């Protein structure tokens, strides 16, 4: 068991209860709520912040399980949030959670904050056999999302897959669904993208090791390093000089698939804070012209500091009103490559953002899909004959992925679909076929799953405009 933060357990439990009340209101993203809480409580130490954040995210990941336990807990109904906090602090990696242990900070002195009834209740929770729990308490997904993923994975995999050690035996059919569900309850690793415009991956890995930061090369991205620990990176010299950025391996593969080259005219159509923009710019070796379009000027502003570190001088940020903005229309038919990393439900990032499964809805997914079709159509106008268009999301759902792609292909015969698997294999991506799916070649689309590839959930498809 790890050591407990210096804060008295009762004070820590009270703080966790307060933080959870704010998070469970779902008025804002959980990371923003946690950051604001820490700004307003500057007296909290580093370890206390870590314990509180871990506990809050544990509850968000396992909300249905913990609510099930809390319903049988001592005290009044109004104390349920406190009991959720107890479960979160008691820690996510032990018998309370289905699946292998998650990264956590257990608090062996938590009993000091609990009365005898609560201690007995917590011990009873820990003694529960996860296999005997109702299915929602094991998958911890809203029912609308669980049902869609069950159907989707049954269709895509066409059969069962083996269970990982540590997971409870499943009474339901559809093992691929359960493999995904359990993977979404785990913390994501920390991936870095080496800035190939400045450095080589092996050199950065060696420098990190000298700073006592151990890493391994990512299995698919030629630019990636994976850290199991979550060290503070802002003070690392290699970070400060722009030798790497934090970026999930799946996101790196999207930039790789675009295939941007020196001297080309390229656009990142929904650039956001610019993670993929920086990766694309590095592929172009700082040459040509790379447009970073987004409707949020605030997000593009956040890119400036990262751009300065990267050493890239070919990136031009442009805040637009919509996909029909006049500044975009001037570039119609002129760009070699366009990436559309479309706004989406974000359900592929549940390991990092577990609150999204409670903040999104089936209705919202439908609205995203409609907007995605509009954005893709607008971005396609920029591609010149012979140019490449790539559509991507960080969603798991067919509605936002294959369905959007199929509708675009049917309406735009001037675009030939890419064989994504063949493109990735040509770029020397290891085991490229493992990353792909599709109805025709079987490698029409990039399809990344947390339980299969240890990345966030990503989807991508591409086209070449006919000459």
Beta-bridged to residue 417, according to DSSP, are: 463
Q: Contact 53/23 with Cβ under 8 angstroms?
A: no
Token duo for residue 363: 């209705």
Catalytic residue among 107, 270, 394, 436: 394
pLDDT at residue 173, rounded to an integer:
43
At residue 172's C-alpha, the angle toward residues 170 and 175, to 5°, is 70
23 is known as an active-site residue: no
Helix (H) or strand (E) holding 103: none
Q: How far apart are CA 272 and CA 290, in angstroms?
A: 14
Q: Contact 95/168 with Cβ under 8 angstroms?
A: no
pLDDT at residue 420, rounded to an integer:
96
pTM tops 0.95, yes or no: no
Per-residue CA distances from 51 to 33, 78, 104, 309 (Å): 15, 23, 8, 32
pLDDT at residue 6, rounded to an integer:
63
Beta strand pairing status for 458-465 and 383-393? antiparallel
Which regions in the chain score pLDDT beneath 50? 1-5, 92-107, 158-173
Q: For tokens 């109702």, what's the residue?
A: 134
Beta-bridged to residue 340, according to DSSP, are: 391
Nearby residues of 186 by Cβ (< 8 Å), 6 or more positions away: 99, 100, 102, 351
pLDDT at residue 291, rounded to an integer:
96
Q: Contact 411/417 with Cβ under 8 angstroms?
A: no
Q: How far apart are CA 47 and CA 303, in angstroms?
A: 30
Nearby residues of 309 by Cβ (< 8 Å), 6 or more positions away: 239, 240, 241, 242
Q: Contact 286/312 with Cβ under 8 angstroms?
A: yes
Strand, helix or coil for residue 316:
strand
Strand, helix or coil for residue 343:
coil
The per-residue pLDDT for range 444-458, each reduced to its tens digit, is 999 999 999 999 999
- Residue ranges of the alpha helices (H) in 171-314? 175-183, 201-210, 237-240, 249-258, 275-283, 297-310
pLDDT at residue 406, rounded to an integer:
96
Q: How far apart are CA 225 and CA 233, in angstroms?
A: 13
Strand, helix or coil for residue 408:
helix
pLDDT at residue 372, rounded to an integer:
97
Q: Contact 346/353 with Cβ under 8 angstroms?
A: yes
pLDDT at residue 323, rounded to an integer:
85
pLDDT at residue 441, rounded to an integer:
73
Residues in the chain: 467
Q: How far apart are CA 327 and CA 307, in angstroms?
A: 22
Would residue 428 be called left, alpha or beta, if left means φ above 0 and alpha means ψ between -120 and 50 degrees? left
DSSP string, 139-208: H---HHHHHHHHHHHHHHH-S--PPPTTPPPPSSS-HHHHHHHHHTTSPPPEEEEE-TTT--HHHHHHHH
Helix (H) or strand (E) holding 1: none
**Burial (CB count within 10 angstroms: exposed 0-12, middle 13-18, buried 19+), residue 436:** buried
């Amino acid at each position: 068991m790890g050591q407990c933060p210096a804060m008295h357990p009762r004070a820590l439990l009270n703080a966790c209860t307060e933080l959870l009340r704010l998070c469970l209101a779902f008025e804002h993203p959980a990371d923003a709520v946690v950051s604001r809480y820490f700004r307003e409580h500057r007296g909290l130490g580093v370890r206390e912040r870590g314990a509180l954040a871990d506990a809050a995210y544990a509850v968000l990941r396992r909300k249905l399980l913990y609510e099930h336990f809390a319903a049988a807990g001592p005290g009044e109904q109004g104390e349920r949030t406190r009991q959720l906090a107890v479960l979160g602090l008691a820690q996510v990696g032990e018998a309370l959670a289905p699946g292998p242990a998650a990264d956590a900070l257990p608090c062996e002195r938590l009993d000091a904050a609990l009365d005898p009834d609560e201690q007995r209740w917590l011990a009873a929770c820990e003694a529960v056999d996860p296999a005997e729990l109702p299915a929602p308490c094991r998958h911890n997904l809203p029912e609308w999302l669980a049902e869609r993923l069950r159907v989707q994975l049954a269709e895509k995999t066409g059969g069962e897959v083996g269970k990982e050690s540590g997971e409870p035996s499943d009474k339901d059919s559809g093992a691929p669904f359960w493999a995904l569900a359990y993977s979404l309850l785990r913390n994501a690793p920390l991936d870095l993208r080496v800035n190939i415009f400045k450095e080589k991956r092996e050199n950065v890995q060696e420098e990190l090791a000298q700073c006592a930061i151990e890493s391994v090369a990512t299995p698919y991205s030629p630019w990636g390093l994976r850290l199991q620990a979550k060290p503070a990176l802002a003070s690392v010299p290699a970070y400060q000089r722009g030798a790497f950025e934090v970026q999930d391996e799946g996101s790196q593969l999207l930039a790789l698939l675009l295939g941007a080259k020196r001297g080309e005219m390229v656009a990142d159509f929904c650039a956001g804070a610019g993670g993929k923009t920086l990766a694309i710019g590095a592929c172009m070796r700082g040459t040509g012209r790379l447009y970073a379009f987004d409707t949020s000027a605030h997000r593009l502003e956040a890119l400036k500091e990262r751009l300065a570190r990267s050493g890239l001088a070919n990136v031009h940020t442009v805040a637009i009103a919509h996909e029909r903005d006049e500044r975009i229309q001037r570039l119609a038919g002129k760009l070699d490559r366009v990436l559309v990393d479309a706004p989406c439900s974000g359900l592929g990032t549940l390991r990092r953002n577990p609150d999204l499964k409670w903040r999104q809805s089936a209705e919202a997914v439908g609205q995203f899909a409609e907007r995605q079709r509009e954005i893709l159509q607008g971005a396609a106008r920029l591609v010149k004959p012979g140019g490449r268009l790539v559509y991507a999301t960080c969603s798991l759902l067919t509605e936002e992925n294959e369905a959007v792609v199929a509708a675009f292909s049917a309406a735009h015969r001037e675009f030939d679909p890419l064989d994504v698997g063949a493109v990735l294999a040509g770029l020397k991506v290891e085991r490229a076929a493992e990353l792909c799916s599709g109805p025709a070649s079987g490698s029409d689309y990039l399809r990344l799953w947390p339980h299969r590839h240890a990345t966030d959930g990503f989807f991508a498809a591409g086209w070449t405009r006919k000459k």
